[in-house]
Amino acid sequence: MKLISWNVNGLRACLEKGFREFLTSESPDILALQETKLQPEQVTYVPEGYHTYYFSAQKKGYSGTAVFTKCEPDRVVFGLGDDRFDSEGRTITLFYPGFTFVTAYVPNAQDGLKRIEYRTAFEDAMRAYLVSLSKDGPVIYCGDLNVAHQEIDLKNPGPNRGSAGFSDEERGLFSDLLSSGFSDTFRVKYPDLAGAYSWWSYRFHAREHNAGWRIDYFLVRSSDEARIVDALIYKDVTGSDHCPVGLLWEGTWN
């Protein structure tokens, strides 16, 4: 199976920057999107051959997630059951007989870590949710997780230490998630590969110089690591300040 996740930084804008062509050429079994920035009445894109699920934030032009899947799931759950997070449209879960698929747009801690308490509460709730799901079978968790876990995961770790996305608090939360029984699929396949990033600032020609961060992930249960065929970063795909990331997975819908 081919699974792809992409923070599109506004789906309507990304549709005009090669999104359709990417979807057609890659034809993933599941495509998860973050930061769609769509209100329900603005959802007009339904790609042929896919079941589509959108989850919007109450605030206009903000956050939001979506999942396109070739196979209709048994059940879809929007959110975590907590309005603090669900009002921002951050999480969608698809249940299949063979696995559970979760995508999330993890909150940004923002400058000065002014939203770190909210971020921590979300991470704690998400970790508990994923651990609970994992008791019933394989779980695939993907999205813009808004953290570079290790120094190898960003170009300039020194000057960015302590800033949003590379603070001790956020990195520790990611470590806690891994310790609870999950694996970063990219580092399973490429433990020492540097220069592999999924987000670049629009400033200072960052993408041109590959001065980026790897903050978009696929995680699976550590007990399912053997089913990871490959982990992908589509670094040459533009259309957003993030590029898509992918997982080739040895598994079936059932």
Q: Residue 91: beta bridge partners?
A: 104
Quote the radius of gyration of the chain (alpha carbons, Å): 17
Contact between 220 and 1 (Cβ < 8 Å): no
174 to 87, 147, 150, 230: CA distances (angstroms): 23, 8, 10, 21
Residues marked active site are found at 105, 144
Q: Could you give the CA distance from residue 133 to residue 102 in angstroms, rounded to a whole number?
A: 10
Q: Give the alpha-carbon dihedral of 226, 227, 229, 234, to 10 degrees.
A: -110
